[in-house]
Structure formats: structure tokens, C-alpha cells
Chains A and B, each alone.
Chain A
Amino acid sequence: MPAAPAPGITVLHCINALTDVAAFALHSTENARIHAVKLPCSGMTRDIFLLKAFEVGADAVVLFTCPEGACRHLDGNIRAWKRVERVRGILDEIGLSSRRLSAFSIAPGDQEAVSLALRKVVSELAVLGPNPAARACPEITSGLTSATTS
């Protein structure tokens, strides 16, 4: 029986929090497939980015932001966390677990924290299983499509 495919995790990150994505590569090979989305500030996160990631097959979505008080754009990270909370509510409402969406604040360059966060998400996914709303579509292999009117 073929091994179950490694879970797909879409990672949105603020380029101020994370400049080095080496940690992703580390995880990408064995226990997860990671699609990274760069944002100039985590405050640019829109609800649709998070939801669309699930539509195109992500099993989990993670957002990395700057720590509280350290956002270069003052409150971008606060806005991002609030939007994440809102979308988590939507996920629960539609029957997709809110546990599939999480946010972490990362001090710049803290690779260890990134690894820790990703490991957490992977172990969470071991319990949750694959995204029940995923369907086979070309976007899964090529990454996120652009979030415009469908």
C-alpha cells in the first residue's frame, strides 16, 4: 500500500520576521510539503488568502508574524492575528477544524522557533488527518493560485 502523502502546509510569513527560509527546506523533504507565501507585512494577510489555501488543498495553514510591539508597520501583526482568529471561527462553522490554522510570532532569525512551530503543526495534522475539503486539482502541485475573483 503506497505511503500516505506528506501533509501540505501553506506558510504565510512576513519578510521582516523570516528572511531565511532554510527551516522550511528542512521540513519540506520528510514530514511535510511546504508552500511559502511572502508578505511585506503580516498585516497584509486577507481572509481570502487563508481560505483559498485550504481550497487548493492545504491541510494546514500557518502564519508567522513579528512579535508584539515589534511590527515595523506598528500594528500589522495585531491585525493579522485578529484575522486569523476570525477565519478560525469560519473554519469551525463550516466543519473544517480551526486547529488547521495557526499563527506564531517569531523573533527575526529565530530558526529554532520556526522549526518548533512547524513540528507542532505536523503533529497536530497527524491527529486531524488530511483536509476533507481538498480535491484533486493542478493548483496543489504548483502552489497557491492568486486570490482574485474566481
Chain B
Amino acid sequence: MSGRKIAEPLSRLHQTLAGGDFAVTAECGPPRGANQEVVLRKAGTLQGYVDAVNVTDNQTAIVRMSSIAACTHLLHTGLEPVMQMVTRDRNRIALQSDIMGAYSLGIKNILCLSGDHQSFGSQPDSMNVFDIDSMHLLRAVRTMRDEGLDMSGFELDGSPCMFIGAAANPFADPFEYRVIRLAKKIEAGADFVQTQCVYNLPRFREWVRLAREQGLTEQVYILAGVTPLKSARMARYMSTRVAGMDIPEEVLGRMAGAPGQQAAAEGIQICLQTIEELREMEGVHGVHIMAIESEETVGEIVAAAGLLPRPVPVLPGR
């Protein structure tokens, strides 16, 4: 059973995808503190440009305002959040508890992840949890939604009917296993996936082709990730230091060739060209724009890519 066969859309994002529109999502990192103004400010720059906004969960293991809280602040601005949830910091008791709480607050999309290891973050001295992995979390949310049962088999008083997402990385090792992994995530419960950012289009195209061959693109909505590069240094850093990132020489060359202030503009150009190609790919249903610490460029990109206006589906009774 996949999200595509569900009769009623579970969220605005779901409705956009089900309606056949090329979806646009972006990302919002909560502040390293209790200042919700940061969230509201970022929301302001995204209004009208996106169908939903991912809110990260202590990303890179750096302690930030919780995803569930930041999602709730976003809800009040009218934006639809996608709550990211990692299994690094919470056990199955806390995770299920937060899923129920999130849905009760009006959060309708969830992205299930394992999470970056705590050694990368601001508290490398902490104990990690990893009681369950992202696959288990997908299955748990799916079971809570479709069967109304928690992980212990208890019948829930109110099911969290969320639109369930997973991450997919077509560029990670080992390549031949990546499509098997996508199939597994769909079977576990993913309705949609958001991929790691795409710079190597031929390789991405190949992954989509393999997924299509296995019928997977009929079972899950795929949103391809894009990140506008801001400088040659950023490109080189991401290429060498971030695992599962594939930036071809050609792209590195373009960034290196653009002088000073023009580098950022070149990065956006590359991003726009990537989006254009993604829109043509059969089996790609949307784009996930991860403009790290430059959320203000999202609107510029969405407009220049010809993705405006965003459809604003109204869900019945909500």
C-alpha cells in the first residue's frame, strides 16, 4: 500500500503530488536557542514559494530547537511543515510519543531518518540511542496510520495519519544497492522520498531509470534534492568532505571559473539548469531545495525556474 493509493490526501504536499503538479519543498533549520523569531523570519522568505517546508531534527547532531516545536511555529504562519525525525536521539517510546503529539498539533508530514552520528555535532560526548533505524521508523508510522496500532500492538486512541517520507541517496556507496534500498523503504512505508542533492545528472538519471524499471516510480513520489553552490570553496568542501555527495569535475570547474561575486550567481544557474532537467525526467515528481543558511534564495530559484505560482490546494474540512 503506498501513499498514491490513499483516497484522501493526507496533507497539502500529498495533494500537490497526487494532483500531478511538480512539487517544491525547501528546508528550514531551527535556531540554536529558544528564539522562535528565527523560524518566523525564515518562514516569511518561503511564503508562496513552496508546498511544504522540511524542519530538520538536530541536524548534524548540533543541538537546536526541536523539530516538533519549530514545525508548530511554522504552522501558525500558514506554511505546511515536514517534520524530520532522526532515530539517533530518541528511543521507540519517545519517537512514537512525539509522532502522536506532532499530529495532534497539526503536523501532517514526516521524514524518517537515522541521523548523522553524534560525533559530528555539538555534543560528541553524549550517548546515542539508535534503538531503531529509519526503516523501523517508517514501518512504525505506517502501522500507526493504517492499522491504528503502536509498535507494541496497542490500539491507538486517534491515529496519526501522516504523509510519510524517507531520504534516498542515489550517490552513496555502494551504488548497486541504492535501488534495492529504495524498494525496501517503500515497502517499509515511504509515500515519498527526498534525495541527496543532485549535481551528477547522468548518474541520477541512471538511478531513476533503474527505479522506474522496477516499478518503484509508480509506488513512491520522488523529490530530487538541489542545493545552489555559493562558491568554489563550498563546492570543493562538499565534494570532498560530505559523504554521499557527487559533484562532477565539470560543475567544480564552472564554480572555480566564476570570479568572486559571480560565483553565487553561477551556482544558481547550475541549480536552475538542474531543475529544468529534473522536470523532464519521468519518475521525478518534484524538487527539494536545500539552500543551506540562505533560505532567501529559494524564492529567487523557484521564480526563475518557472515554478510559480504554487498550487494552493485546500484540504476538505481543514
Whether A and B touch directly in their complex, counting CB atoms under 8 A apart, is answered as: no
Which A residues lie at the B interface, using CB under 8 A? none
Which B residues lie at the A interface, using CB under 8 A? none
